[in-house]
Amino acid sequence: MSDDKKPTAPAPSAAAPASGVPATAPAPIAGAPQSTSKPGAAVPPPPPAPGAKPPPKNPGMVTFTVDGKEVVAKPGTNMIEAAKQVGVEIPYYCWHPRLSIAANCRMCLVESSTSPKLVPACQTAIAEGMAIKATSAKVQEQQRAVMEFLLLNHPVDCSICDQAGECKLQDYYMRYDHKSSRLERISGIEDGPGMKVLRNKRKVLGPTVVLDQERCVLCTRCVRFMDEVAKEPQLGVFGRGSHERIDVHPQFGELKSNYSGNTVDICPVGALLNRDFRFRARAWFLSAAPSVCTGCSRGCSTFADFMGQDTYRYRPRENEQINKSWMCDQGRLSYKSLNKGRVLQSVIGRGADAREAGRAEAVKYAAAKLKPLVGSVAVAASPVASNEDLMAGLTFARDVLGAKSVYVSGRPAGEADHFLMMADKNPNRRGLESIAKALGLNVEKFEKLSAAVEGGQVKALYAIGAEMPDAGFAAKAATLELLVLQATNEDALTAQAQVLLPASTHVEDEGTFTQEGGITQRFRRAYPPKGDAQPHWKWAVELAKEMGGSLAWSSSREVFRMVAPTVPELASFEWDKQAPVNIKQGISVPAASADGRPPGWREFGAPRVKGI
Amino acid sequence: MSLQHPVEKIVTRYWPHKDQNTLKGYKSRGGYQQLAKALGQEPAAIIDAVKKSNLRGRGGAGFPTGLKWSFLPKDNPKPKYLCINADESEPGTAKDRFILENDPHSLLEGIGIACWALGAHTCYIYARGEFKHPSAVLDKAIAEAYADGIFGKKLLGKDFELNVYQVRGAGAYICGEETALLESLEGKKGWPRLKPPFPAVVGLFGCPTIVNNVETISTLPALFEKGPEWFANLGSGKSGGNRLVTLSGAVNRPGTFEVGMKTTLKELIYAEEYGQGLPPGRAVKGVIPGGSSAPVLTADELGVAMEFDAFKPLNSMAGSGGVIVMDDMCCMVRSLWRVVRFYAEESCGQCTPCRDGQPWMTRILRKIEEGRGTREDLETLQHVATSMAPYPPIGLGNTICALGDSGALAVHGFMKFKREFEQHIEEKRCPFGERPWGAFGDFQ
């Protein structure tokens, strides 16, 4: 800000020796303002290059300068991304690396030596020798102006806006505008609200998305996403000029797409909101753990946003190989099973005899029941469990229970769609099969187990995960003499278990999944397991110890390091190096605030506590 | 007042004949002979001739037509299109409308010549939605031309297919912008496209496309009749031929006239053949020289010739030839408010500065006109206009198309009358009282 008046003159000469740019480089920069800022230069100024085009400075690459800093980028690189390489941030709303260029927000306008006008950085192709000024006074004034235009009729209802904390309008206002509104006040009220254009504040677009038209900046990212990525062009821009609004095309009636949640993610402001997440948490209290969606075998990379011991939402995490920047709504909402209907306590006995028990007691009880049946216990493993869980669980089954084969349980197949969602709803089938094979276990179909239980050939079952492809299996399981079940969520089968051991979900422990394409991904632990739950691998280790086995692993990392070298598909996976580390730490929530409730908690109709 | 340079009429020469808009009448005055002649020439020769004639686009920007045609890529295997921009909606402009009504076949003949030169087999005429009568006349003329074997599988008997279609707009001003026009033709929302690529390379349906104004194309038959050198000599400097201008506002004889490139604004307003001066007792306060987007000129600047380049030193533009005369009884705040309101209404809503800036300027202007304005408002107004398009010179707009510039340029231009704005603020009322429209208000 201090160099507002003469930002260009000292910059090139000062920057040149510091950044080691050869003496020839600053010449076009110094020349640029003279040729562009003169009022007479309405016609494009002739390029300063004398005679023929000089050869590129770096063959095969484009070399240009941003604020005097030299940038070497591949031809065709977007200017915004190229400028990032040298630490110059060009603000933008409408641009998105995975969508077509709209250049309608005009926030990314920069000065270029190739044009007398300000040019949009998102649209302008980088060219050899070009000099870009992204922070000059002229550019800053334009950024301020665009911010003022965008905020002119904005309701500024950040206090009730879900986007607050991750909103580009907020961030950019602080950085590029920071002025009060000049909009006409309602007459007679000096500091009252401005005479803003009012629009629909709660336009329900569809089952998952609601639109606040007053907050919308009409960047059309959502429209372009539905057209170009989801290939379901249901959204459109209606009206003209300042009456313009985003809406669903009439022939669709409502936004009904398995990818509608992504429009909320890419909305740079709080206009599009997820109805599931709306009003549930402030963004700054949420921490984000890099995770993997377990909704289907695609295995989209995600962030699990959590607070305390609850997951609040999944957000797609960029992964060029698998999901780019997107995820489906079905996967997005699959986080709910992490919070609800969980098995959190060990249960011993079945039916009227059932009683809750501590971990140690449950393990002892299970070991006692299993011991006499060693050799005849069938083993079922769910491909919802992680590689580490399966490695430990199957090793226990083979070495201690004497199993020769493993029956693959898991969720029943569902619908697939044209983009990301797969019919196989289990995240780790590939991992399960390769681990079982490496351990020398036969991989058997679930139907076989189902028939054997019905026929009475199988009397005892040790199951890792309660997900069963056959809904009628619970009834058949009632005939089992022994069912030792490690389950994350309650369902019909958990009621039939003699020993029910609460297992943790993937966000409660570290581990890996191998998705349908064979790509193994690591996920991070968000929070410690709820209740008495612990990972499958840990139950297996404890059961083995109790039954006289030799498993002595103390973490999922250790399980992986010990077993993975024997699994060809996983042997080359570098567990430590493949850890996504960009964990966002939310503001830590104290256990309770002064009134005994967590901060941000408001009960409708409850009286405010006096004194705070 | 008499004209210093007499004008030889080209476009309007046969307008007095009432049967000129029929094929029979048009042919009786030598119609379609130039097309026959052109079909005997090489396309490249025609483009050269148009270049030589200094014909410039009459739609507003004044871009050399021959140069535009030569941008069409030669080696592109895709079909080429010619689009005629008949979406004439610039406030104060009504010239294409009269061409369509009085002489539609001159346009069709020009289309034949242009399509032959460009190698285009399809031509779309995008007519303004409100052009009910002109469209009907044009439709009839197209039908006549097909029936006479001019268009269709064979263009005037030559083995060259040419189909001409008229497409009606839906009443959006922005669809007169060439890329918005193409979007609208494709059945999409009329939003201007990002440039580059320009329509000559990627235009209608992704194919190379030339978009020309009605007047530009309907000048072609006369141009080839008399020869490009004659045409170039008719004009001055780099602008060949004559222009149609629409004179409106506080003049005794408003209307659409053909003027020479050397005719001055003063002549246009005062000459017997044209405007015949202002009503008695009135004097010129300001003149908008080229449709409402052109910055207004003061009474001292009327000596300027109606040529495209002549307006540049005055930081205004020849535009689409809509000359609006405002007399000394006309409130400039009221006038500017009306102009900016138009742009606020017609902004396509794509770019932030135009979408939000135009309505804001409208509100500020209303505030000033209604006597509630402050000096800060006037500053804000200029500030907003500068954020949309710095001025001078023209053409530094911060939006995708020039509509953003238009409203801003109007504001910048009217600041020549800043004193009047200050008067509104000081007196807390409009000094012109109940009748702010000057002589406009006298016409019922």
pLDDT for A357 beyond 80? yes
String of DSSP letters for A305-355 = EEETTEEEEEEE--BTTTTBT---HHHHGGGHHHHSSB--SEEESSGGG-E
Instruction: Grade residue A594 by pLDDT with cuts at 50, 70 and 90.
Output: low
Q: What is the pTM of this model?
A: 0.89
3-state secondary structure of B63: coil
String of DSSP letters for A435-492 = HHHHTT-EEE-HHHHHHHHHHTS--EEEEES---S-TTHHHHHTT-SEEEEEESB--T
pLDDT for A608 beyond 90? no
Distance CA A606, CA A358 (A): 38
Strand-pair category, A310-316 with A301-307: antiparallel
Q: How far is CA A182 from CA A145, A193, B381, in A?
A: 11, 11, 10
3-state secondary structure of B134: helix
The pLDDT assigned to A596 comes to 57
Chain A hits for B355, Cβ within 8 Å: 149, 218, 241-242, 244
Nearest one of A128, A5, A19, A117 to A67, comparing CA atoms: A19
From the list B347, B351, B353, which residue is nearest A240 (CB)? B347
Chain B hits for A149, Cβ within 8 Å: 352-353, 355-357, 360, 387
- Whole-number average pLDDT of chain A: 87
3-state secondary structure of A242: helix
From the list B172, B364, B396, which residue is nearest A240 (CB)? B172
Chain B hits for A101, Cβ within 8 Å: 194
Nearest one of A299, A368, A366 to A334, comparing CA atoms: A299
Chain B hits for A106, Cβ within 8 Å: 351-353, 398-399
Contacts A–B by Cβ distance under 8 A: 102
Contact A152 B367 (CB under 8 A): no
Element (H, E) at B318: none
From the list B351, B358, B392, which residue is nearest A106 (CB)? B351
Structure tokens at B122: 């399809």
Contact B347 A241 (CB under 8 A): yes
Chain A hits for B349, Cβ within 8 Å: 218, 237, 239-244
Contact B400 A142 (CB under 8 A): no
The pLDDT assigned to A224 comes to 97
Strand-pair category, A69-73 with A62-66: antiparallel
| Mean pLDDT of successive 10-residue stretches along chain B, which has 444 residues | 88 93 95 95 95 93 94 93 95 94 96 96 96 96 96 93 96 94 95 93 96 96 94 91 94 94 95 93 94 94 93 92 93 94 94 95 93 94 96 91 94 96 95 79 55
Nearest one of A315, A302, A292 to A162, comparing CA atoms: A315
Distance CA B237, CA B226 (A): 19
Distance CA A411, CA A413 (A): 6
The pLDDT assigned to B443 comes to 52
- Provide the 10 A C-beta neighbour count for residue A467: 21
Element (H, E) at B406: helix B403-414
pLDDT for A36 beyond 50? no
The pLDDT assigned to A599 comes to 55
Where are chain A's structural domains?
Answer: 341-578
Q: State the nearest Cα–Cα gap between A433 and chain B, in angstroms.
A: 50
Top CATH class of B235-327 equals alpha beta
Nearest one of A441, A396, A422 to A562, comparing CA atoms: A396
Which segment of A349-358, A369-378, A576-585, B232-241 scores lowest on mean pLDDT? A576-585
Chain B hits for A118, Cβ within 8 Å: 396, 398
Residue with tokens 């992704």: B206
CA dihedral B393, B398, B402, B405 (to 10 degrees): -60
| CB-based contacts of A298, cutoff 8 Å, min separation 6 | A322, A323, A331, A420, A421, A422, A515, A516
Instruction: Grade residue A603 by pLDDT with cuts at 50, 70 and 90.
Output: low
Distance CA A88, CA B132 (A): 54
Which residues 264-323 of chain A have a CB within 8 Å of chain B?
Answer: none
Q: How far is CA A429 from CA A381, A392, A424, A426, in A?
A: 10, 16, 9, 6
Chain B hits for A242, Cβ within 8 Å: 344, 347, 349, 355-356, 358-359
Structure tokens at B83: 């689009």
Using CA coordinates, name the residue in chain B closest to A41.
B393
Neighbour order of strands in the sheet with A310-316: A287-292, A301-307, A310-316
Nearest one of A569, A326, A535 to A437, comparing CA atoms: A569
* A127 shares contact with chain B (CB less than 8 Å): no
3-state secondary structure of B287: strand
From the list B349, B380, B393, which residue is nearest A244 (CB)? B349
Distance CA A298, CA A421 (A): 7
Disruptive mutation site among B189, B308, B350 for chain A (greatest number of A CBs within 10 Å): B350
From the list B353, B355, B363, which residue is nearest A145 (CB)? B353
CA A439 from centre of chain: 34
Strand-pair category, B255-260 with B242-249: antiparallel
- Positions of CATH 3.40.50.11540 in chain B: 18-232
Q: State the nearest Cα–Cα gap between A146 and chain B, in angstroms.
A: 6
Contact at 8 Å (CB) between A236 and A249?
Answer: yes
CATH 3.40.50.740 is held by the domain A341-578: yes
* A188 shares contact with chain B (CB less than 8 Å): no
Strand-pair category, A131-133 with A62-66: parallel
Distance CA B125, CA B82 (A): 8
Distance CA A394, CA A381 (A): 8
Chain A hits for B360, Cβ within 8 Å: 149, 152, 183
Q: How far is CA A438 from CA A405, A449, A573, B357, in A?
A: 12, 21, 15, 67
Nearest one of A464, A463, A484 to A366, comparing CA atoms: A484
Contact at 8 Å (CB) between A165 and A288?
Answer: no
Q: State the nearest Cα–Cα gap between B439 and chain A, in angstroms.
A: 32
CATH 3.90.76.10 is held by the domain B332-427: no
Which residue stretches of B291-349 are H helix?
A: 332-346
Q: How far is CA A175 from CA A140, A580, B284, in A?
A: 10, 29, 48
Using CA coordinates, name the residue in chain A closest to B381.
A182
Contact at 8 Å (CB) between A72 and A101?
Answer: no
Contact at 8 Å (CB) between A209 and A222?
Answer: no
Which one is the CATH code of B18-232: 3.40.50.11540, 1.10.1740.10, 3.10.20.600, 1.10.390.10?
3.40.50.11540
Q: Work out whether the CA dihedral A260, A265, A270, A271 comes out positive or negative.
A: negative
Which segment of A329-338, A578-587, B274-283 scores lowest on mean pLDDT? A578-587
The pLDDT assigned to A15 comes to 37
Q: In this prediction, what percent of chain A has a pLDDT beyond 90?
A: 76
Which segment of A130-134, A285-289, B42-46, B113-117 scores lowest on mean pLDDT? A285-289
- Positions of CATH 1.20.1440.230 in chain B: 332-427
Using CA coordinates, name the residue in chain B closest to A216.
B352
Distance CA A601, CA A599 (A): 5
- A184 against A79, higher pLDDT: A79
Kindly state the average pLDDT of the residues A534-550.
94
Distance CA A164, CA A179 (A): 19
Contact at 8 Å (CB) between A16 and A29?
Answer: no
Contact A243 B349 (CB under 8 A): yes
Kindly state the average pLDDT of the residues A273-277.
94
Q: State the nearest Cα–Cα gap between B168 and chain A, in angstroms.
A: 19
Q: State the nearest Cα–Cα gap between B374 and chain A, in angstroms.
A: 11
